[in-house]
Every structure is written in structure tokens, then in C-alpha cells.
Amino acid sequence: MTYVVTDNCIKCKYMDCVEVCPVDCFYEGDNMLVIHPDECIDCGVCEPECPAEAIKPDTEPALDKWLKLNAEYAPQWPNITIKRDAPADAEEHDGEPEKFEKYFSADPGQGDG
Ligand code: SF4
Ligand code: SF4
């Protein structure tokens, strides 16, 4: 199994998760993060750190879409281990429905570099 990042990370990206991961397996897209499923060691440390409750274990039902998305983009996006400031409008998007349909971007983020 692995942990996966889901819808509510989009446009929130608080990044509290990246500093606690012992294996540095978060990758940064333009407006969300993903977890590399082959690198995640299922420690679960990141799940309670996410203020947006966007991180879930893949044992929860109906996460197929997100598992696929994490697996697809983690190898394409840069690694992120150092927390930056969240976007200024993060709070107003927290909990907004259908963020994927409205805002998902396949573009890479800036990563640690
Ligand atoms: S803490 Fe949660 S919302 Fe923030 S970047 Fe990590 S997964 Fe996304
Ligand atoms: S469950 Fe552990 S290894 Fe997997 S992403 Fe979260 S902190 Fe990293």
C-alpha cells in the first residue's frame, strides 16, 4: 500500500507534509503535491500533518483515481522536501468541491531548487 494525495491539496499546498516524510517522497506540481507510491514506506506520519486532510491511505475506498494520478505524476515532477509559504488564496479554496475538474494542472512545480 501507499499513502496518496487527493483533491483538497489542489491550490492549498500548505506543505506541512513534506518536512515530516522520512523518505522524501513528495513531488511538486504546479498547484498540488503527490506521493511516489513506490517510495512511500506507509509510515503514516504525513497524514495528520496535512491541514487540508488531503492525504489518505490507499486502503480507503474509491481512491483509484488518486493513486493513478500520484503514480503518474511523481516521476514527472520535481522532488520537494523543504516547506515554502502556502499560496495567498489557499484558505479560500480549502474544502472547495471538484477542485480537480476546475484547477488541476499537469505542469511541474518548482521543487526544492
Ligand atoms: S500538507 Fe496537505 S494540502 Fe498541504 S501540500 Fe501536503 S498534502 Fe497538500
Ligand atoms: S506515509 Fe510516510 S513515507 Fe509515505 S508519504 Fe507519508 S510520511 Fe512519506
Domain that holds residue 73: 3-86
Q: What is the mean pLDDT of the chain?
A: 95
- Say what the pTM is: 0.96
Nearest CA to ligand 2 atom 4: 40
For residue 83 the three cell numbers come to 516547506
Which ligand 2 atom minimizes the distance to the CA of 42? 1
Q: Which residue has the cell 509510515?
A: 43
User: pLDDT above 90 covers what percent of the chain?
Assistant: 89
Interatomic CA distance for residues 108 and 74, integer angstroms: 10
Looking up residue 20, the CATH number of its domain turns out to be 3.30.70.20
Over 90: is that where the pLDDT of 71 sits?
yes
101 in a structural domain: no
Ligand 2 centre distance from Cα of residue 85 (Å): 21
* Domain assignment present for 35: yes
Phi-psi region of 56 (alpha: psi -120 to 50; beta: other; left: phi over 0): beta
Euclidean distance between CA atoms 20 and 46, whole angstroms: 6
Residue 52 CA, closest ligand 1 atom number? 3
- Mean of the pLDDT values across residues 65-91? 95
pLDDT at 68 over 90: yes
